[in-house]
Amino acid sequence: MQRRNFLKTLGAGAAGVAAAPFVSTASAQETITWDMVTSWPKNFPALGTGANEFAQRVEALSHGRMRIRVHGAGELVPALEVFDAVAAGTAEMGHSASYYWRGKVAAAQFFTAVPFGMNTTETNAWIYHGGGQELWDEIYAKHNLKPFAVGNTGAQMAGWFKKEINSLADMQGLKLRLPGLAGEAMNRIGVTTVNMPGSEIFTSMQTGVLDAADWVGPYNDLAFGLHQVADYYYTSAWNEPSAILEGTVNLDAWNALPDDLKAVVTEAARASNLAMTSEFTYRNAQALETLVDEHGVQLRTFPEDVMVALFDASENVIQEQVANDPDSAKTYASYQAFQTLVRPFSDAGEFEYLRARAAVGA
């Protein structure tokens, strides 16, 4: 009878695990409040609101035992000082993009975007199943940080240009806002790139400080009004085929959390990663239609000689970084091996399907 009761209880528990939402199990008396600093304007569509929604998930999953106060860029620290602020404990958490820290942690760039690299589905698989998270943890621990993927924009547009690009010669001498490995590759083909917060792009384009700018994609670009300061929108998504938005946690604050709240943060990050990717897919489609149909934006693709030059420059930039930084070498070896593993299926599956769909006009 005891055995039957045990099996009955076990069966009920297993069914409950499959159906019940995740809940916190630590003491209901304990309340933890964190501050999160971000690189985005307060409540900025998808990026800023994605940080807000992450905080809401943490509070809901913890039944109010953990609260995160979200601060927009400049409220507590400037947009591009999130990494240092969280590492120092000025705030317990940050939300940004890791390629902004290339001058501090060269390997961090691989955890945002790799030119001509993996798409969003492939990148998530590398992070969650291919050892990417473990490498990220190892590298960031040296800076007193614990990282998470807390969103992804999907493939980003190549950017806004004031003049049409008809050949590689047209790129020479342009001043372009573009961060990360892609920015360095652009420098190699004769473009001068700068890294600046998104909030400064419109004015810099309007005043002539910039000739062109990459930001994100139609949804965010429309929100900043970039169609008002450039006529040509380039769709050649070479620079960021996937772009992770990172959540960074001060490692001391992380280690002080009870295990169940660590699980809450981890699962809230995973849910937010999926939610942002889905939102961008939907919102970008709407915004692109608005840009083209209502604002007359002209879509363009880079000519072949530009794409070939960018590919060669990207390869050179990556290989030089790998040769000069052991963490970059280790990270890129893992990234490249995973891309080699998944590409045959991606080509045979998603790519062939999209090509077939386009061919029949479906």
Contacts of 222 (CB under 8 A, 6+ apart): 287, 290, 291
Query: Which pLDDT tens digit goes with each residue over 188-204?
Result: 999 999 999 999 999 99
Residues with Cβ < 8 Å from 358, sequence gap 6 or more? none
The two three-digit tokens of residue 220, written as one number = 């965010």
pLDDT at site 239: 97
Specify burial of residue 42 (Cβ count, 10 A radius: 0-12, 13-18, 19+): middle
3-class secondary structure, 150:
strand
pLDDT score recorded for residue 2: 41
- Low-confidence stretches of the chain (pLDDT < 50) are 1-27
Give the span between the Cα atoms of 86 and 253, in whole angstroms. 10
Q: Is 69 exposed, middle or buried (0-12, 13-18, 19+ CB in 10 A)?
A: middle
Position 22 scores a pLDDT of: 36
CA 29 to chain CA mean position, Å: 35
For tokens 């190549």, what's the residue?
158
Total Cβ atoms within 10 A of residue 238: 20
User: Residue written as tokens 């939300």?
Assistant: 95
The first and second tokens of residue 278, run together, are 């889905």
User: Looking at residue 362, what is its pLDDT?
Assistant: 86
Torsion angle of the four alpha carbons 254, 43, 47, 148, in this order, in degrees rounded to the nearest 10: 10
The token pair that represents 267 in the structure block = 């699962």
Please list, residue by residue across 283-322, b when 16 or more beta carbons sit within 10 angstroms of its beta carbon and e when fewer do: bbeebbeebeeeeebeebebbeebbebbeebbeebbeebb
Tokens 């493939």 correspond to: 155
Please give the Cα distance from 118 to 347 (Å, whole number): 12
User: What is the secondary structure of 66-84 as a DSSP string?
Assistant: EEEEEE-TTTSS-GGGHHH
Per-residue pLDDT of 131-183, as tens digits, reads 999 999 999 999 999 999 999 999 999 999 999 999 999 999 999 999 999 99
Closest CA to 246 of 325, 143, 318, 321: 143
DSSP 202-250: HHHHHHTS-SEE--S-HHHHHHHTGGGT-SEEE----S-SS-EEEEEEE
Spatial strand order of the sheet with 93-96 comes to 66-71, 32-38, 93-96, 244-250, 145-152
The Cα–Cα gap between 58 and 184 comes to: 37
Query: What distance in Å separates the CA atoms of residue 139 and residue 106, rounded to the nearest whole number?
Result: 10
Q: Where are the alpha helices (DSSP H) in 248-303?
A: 251-256, 259-293
Strand 298-300's sheet: what is its strand order? 192-194, 175-177, 212-213, 159-161, 232-234, 298-300
Q: What is the pLDDT of residue 30?
A: 78
Whole-number Å distance between alpha carbons of 200 and 320: 30
> Which alpha helices (DSSP H) does 62-179 contain, by range?
82-88, 120-129, 132-141
| pTM of this structure | 0.89
